[in-house]
Structure 1
Amino acid sequence: MPGPTLAHFESDLRLPDRVDVVVIGGGIIGASTALELAERGLSVLLCEKGQIGAEQSSRNWGWVRISRRDPREVPLMVESMRIWEELEARVGRKVGYRRTGIAFCAGSESYLAKLDRWRRHLAPHGIESRILRGREFDALMPGHKLRLKGALYTPLDGRAEPQWAAPAIAEAAQRLGATVMTSCAVRSLDIAAGRVAGVITEKGRVHCSAVVLAGGAWSRLFAGNAGLNLPQLKVLNTVMRTTPVDGPDTALWTDGFAFRKRADGGYTVASGDENVVDLVPDSFRLGLTFLPAYLDDWRSLRFRLSGRWRVEAAQARRWRPDEMTAFEACRILDPAPSRRALRASWAALGRAFPAFQKADVVQSWAGMIDVTPDAIPVISGIESVPGFHIATGFSGHGFGIGPAAGRLMADLVSGTAPLVDPSDFRFSRFTDGSKVRPDSGY
């Protein structure tokens, strides 16, 4: 099933012999990193095995939110909000960003109290967030039929268009001199004297002194070939889009569904409480590592045995630079959406907002979210491989935080003062005895 329609992007055609930095992966994280580095005057090659933004960066909900994040992500998201405000002027193309607010609904007083407690994480940053009840919520969501105790509402939250953002950012990097190659998989690192000396792509070797792996759901496989055990699994989320309908401008999450208005007047709609976890060999290799995360979020996870087991079991976990890789065999990860999730969320939305019964579903798709055991990303240099850096594992939060994650990664690569304290995102947290688990902030 075809995924979302992406904004046009014109690839470069000639692979450079040498650059300062190679970025692997053309999603919003990789594109933002490339733009930041190019703005600092570094020569950059961005390699994408398929098309820019074709996987999770174009398949997400399009939310740009600070509310209900893991508290460890909040300082970085504060910076990302600032970047989003000026992004269209900076890149010279539309990304669809608008500050419209997001409401997280609560059907019980106990959950509403949790949402109220979460607000304390915004207080040090002077960001408004409040609990809405009754008529206040009715005014924000006219025509709703929800039965609620209240909602957490953060006016600073907003939305952008996932199909526009990564291509626009990559094109801006290109205009500043970065080389951006699509349909060009990086097969492996080139290591000399114990540190990064370049990469080997399917189209040839490129010399460089630094590499950033921003490969999303593919990062664990690439890192494993480099001798690193990156604890990362994939979670499938299903999304649909509708024809235009007269509905709320503010995005909403509740049990059963979530939505946000699109630039075309339609809506992006998804299940508010279902994510599919395909059982694969890595599910068992990493089972104990992910156990706290499973226990923390078990109500929203649906485990299944599917064809993904066969696909991933057949993938080579180590290969030579002259061998064809899984990255070339699958240019774009385009999983089938969950029909169950589509039916359930659409029915729930129609009951809660009768106006949506006049709309039609015109497209649906699914995407693979790259998740870590503590549901926050790795944005880190790798001590055991000098010159190698990883930016991955954004656990469904990557689109909104992507521009600031790219800036922080560029700080680490270039050796400048980091945008925020990067210690929570260090790769070594998985091996240094740290307590690795999600933090809901309640």
Structure 2
Amino acid sequence: MTKTLERIQTADVIPESTSVVIIGGGIVGVSAALTLAERNIPVVLLEKGHIAGEQSSRNLGWIRKTSRHFDDVPLAQAADKLWAQMSQRVGRDVGYKQSGIMFLSDSEEQLVMHESWLESVKSLELDSRMLTPTDVDTMVQGGKGKWLGGIYTPSDGRAEPAIATSAMAQAAVNKGAILVQNCAVRGLSRSAGKVTGVVTEQGEIRCEQVLLAGGAWSRRFLDNEGISLPTLPLICSVMRTKPMEGPTEIAVGASNFSFRKHQDGGFIITQRGALDAPLCLDHLLIGHRYLSQLKSQRSYLRVSLGNYFLKDLAISRRWDSGSSSPFEKVRTIDPLHNSGLNQEALTNLRKAWPAFDSAQIEEAWAGQIDVTPDSNPVIDRIKDIPGLTIATGFSGHGFGTGPAAGQLAADLVSGMNPIIDPSPYRFDRL
């Protein structure tokens, strides 16, 4: 994980009961806890490791509407409004800047793809626009790349993952939420099929509603409860430079690199054209659900069979609430970063913008992404288990929509009018 992640102090002991239990201390679960606390609804958030220890602190920090699925854009638009108010809401700066995001095209195919997306979202009245090569050179100066153009959304932005979720969590505590770290939830308590509480490694908490926001762990948790959620893992490697002079405040994505300004003056860089795809047992069980994705994205995936498969195989898939769960044995998913992919990104970036020739790497890390077959999350009540709602499967772009996704989940849990139409995120579509 990034060494700049801020840790917070939370309660050590679970209460006997509450109204809502949230499983998972990433940005979505924390946002839901903050929302419920602001509504004076008693809520307890349980995190098996520490707040934001996994993908919520390991992502790139982009807050974008550009290139999202049409049905996913309204959630991103709602998130923009919440991000703009976040520093005031939580009482401290979370690094949010509406500095714009630009995607570059070095082929006609990419250019047509961006034009098609822009046409598809015309009814949503975004401020996105196509760029000419001259526009690119003017907006991001000093470049040597031969770009055919690109697409730019001025209202897209960024925030700092190492700060934002922790700040939101502290605000939730200040407003009455109870957060407990290093406390894994082993399973659900039920009566007549309905949720009545959760069983943790510390004992049971009685509650009326449960929200599962467990990220990459959600599939394993639900499977043990008799619910099949199709998600597969991908691993993204990231690096941060030391403070340096850069070409722009705009976040820039090309076919084989991306970069954005970090609040300390450095840059966050990744190989945008490649993700590690370590094979595991789930590929054999549900891989057929991803065939269409594989056909369109196979050039981006670095597939491997090795230690990941064996480590995953060693983690239990069935357990009872009276015994230790997988979530106690592996508190944090902490994959090794792929230094080769990071070096590819930096080499490609230096060819395009020589200003990065002087870049010095401050740190590198990796995070595991849970991907659904259509790359959209699930935010929905589970009909087969009354009292259970899930918000998971964000497929690598959940940080940007996190505040709105958490609020939508809180709306569903509390029975309030949802912040946006939740139907694109229903569970039964999968």
TM-score of the pair, normalised by structure 1 = 0.95
Alignment of 1:283-294 (within 5 A): 283-294=283-294
1:167 maps to 166
Q: Take 1:78 and 1:193, find their aligned partners in 2: how far apart are those partners?
A: 40
8 Å CA contact 1:370, 1:395 repeated in 2: yes
Higher mean alpha-carbon deviation, 129-138 vs 248-257, is at 129-138
What SS does the corresponding residue of 2:328 show, helix, strand or coil? Answer: helix
CA–CA separation in structure 1 for the residues paired with 2:58 and 2:85: 23
* Offset from partner CA, 1:402-438 (integer Å, 9 cap, x none): 00001111111111111111111111112xxxxxxxx
Is residue 8–residue 167 contact of structure 1 (8 Å, CA) maintained in 2?
yes
Tell me how far apart the structure 1 counterparts of residues 179 and 121 of structure 2 sit (CA, whole Å).
Answer: 37
SS at match of 2:269: strand
Matched, 1:11 2:10: yes
Aligned: 1:350 with 2:346 = no
1:401 lines up with 2:422 in the alignment: no
Partners of 1:187 and 1:199 within 8 A in 2:
yes
2:11 pairs with 1:43: no
What does 1:263-342 correspond to in 2, within 5 Å?
Answer: 263-342=263-342
* Helix, strand or coil at the partner of 1:78: helix
**In the alignment, is the contact (CA less than 8 A) between 2:2 and 2:162 conserved in 1?**
no
Give, in whole Å, the separation in 2 of the partners of 1:48 and 1:387. 20
Give 1:155's aligned residue: 154
Contact 1:74 1:121 in 2 (8 A): no
1:212 paired to 2:211: yes
Hey, what's the Cα distance between the residues in 2 that align with 1:424 and 1:62? Answer: 24
SS in 1 for 2:182: coil
Alignment of 1:367-378 (within 5 A): 367-378=367-378
Q: Deviations over 1:344-368 (max 9, x none)?
A: 1111111111111112011100000
Match of 2:30 in 1: 31
- For residues 195-215 of structure 1, the C-alpha deviation after alignment (integer angstroms, 9 at most, x for no partner) is 000001111110001111101
| Cα deviation digits, residues 44-76 of structure 1 (max 9, x gap) | 000111111010000001000000111110111
Counterparts of 1:331 and 1:243 in 2: how far apart (Å)? 30
Q: Indicate if the aligned counterparts of 2:79 and 2:401 stay in contact, CA closer than 8 A.
A: yes
Instruction: Note the C-alpha offset of 1:8.
Output: 2.8
Do 1:4 and 1:365's aligned partners in 2 also have CA atoms closer than 8 Å?
Answer: no
* Counterparts of residues 417-436 of structure 1 (less than 5 Å): 417-430=417-430
Give the whole-Å Cα distance in 2 for the aligned partners of 1:331 and 1:134.
47
Q: d(CA) in 1 for partners of 2:93 and 2:9?
A: 17
Pairs within 5 Å for 1:35-184? 35-184=34-183
Q: Corresponding residue for 1:200?
A: 199
Per the TM alignment, residue 84 of structure 1 is displaced from its structure 2 partner at its CA by 0.5
Once the two structures are superposed, the pairs formed by residues 196-275 of structure 1 within 5 Å of their partners are 196-247=195-246, 248-275=248-275
Shift, 1:94, TM fit: 1.7
Q: Is the 8 A contact 2:7 2:51 kept in 1?
A: no
CA positional deviation for 1:295: 1.6
Displacement of 1:14 in angstroms is: 2.4
How big is each residue's C-alpha offset from its partner over 1:1-32, in whole Å with a ceiling of 9 and x where there is no partner?
x5433113111122111111000100001100
Q: Confirm or deny: 8 A CA contact 2:230 2:286 kept in the other structure.
A: yes
SS for the counterpart of 1:366 is strand
1:115 offset after TM fit, Å? 0.4
Q: Which amino acid aligns with 1:157?
A: D
Q: Does 1:410 align with 2:416?
A: no
User: When the two structures are aligned, how many residues end up with a matched partner?
Assistant: 429
Hey, what's the Cα distance between the residues in 2 that align with 1:339 and 1:96?
A: 27
- C-alpha distance in structure 2 between counterparts of 1:387 and 1:40, whole Å: 19
Alpha-carbon RMSD across the aligned residues, in angstroms, is 1.1
Greater shift in the superposed pair: 388-397 or 4-13 = 4-13
Q: 1:137 Cα deviation (Å)?
A: 1.1
Separation in 2, partners of 1:407, 1:297: 31
Aligned 8 A contact 2:54 2:368 in 1: yes
After superposition, the C-alpha distances for 1:183-237 in whole angstroms (9 at most, x for unaligned) are 1111111111110000011111100011111011111000111110110111000
Q: CA deviation at 1:113?
A: 2.1
CA contact (8 A) 1:102 1:153 kept: yes
**1:122 CA displacement:** 4.0
Q: In structure 2, the residue corresponding to 1:344 is in which secondary structure? A: helix
* Partner Cα separation in structure 1 for residue 419 and residue 404 of structure 2: 8
Q: CA deviation at 1:79?
A: 0.5
Does the CA-based 8 Å contact 2:189-2:196 persist in structure 1? yes
Conserved 8 A contact 1:20-1:210: yes
Deviation at 1:121, TM superposition (A): 4.3
Distance apart, 1:292 and its partner CA: 1.5
8 Å contact from structure 2 (residues 63, 156) kept in 1: yes
Match of 1:439 in 2: none
Task: State the one-letter code of the partner of 2:268.
Answer: T
Q: Which runs of 5+ in 2 are unaligned?
A: none
**1:150-180 CA deviation, whole Å, 9 max, x = no partner?**
0101001100000001111111111111100
1:75-105 deviation per Cα after TM superposition (whole angstroms, max 9, x unaligned): 1111011111101100112210000111101
Q: TM-score, normalised on structure 2?
A: 0.98
TM-superposed CA distance for 1:119, in Å, is 1.4
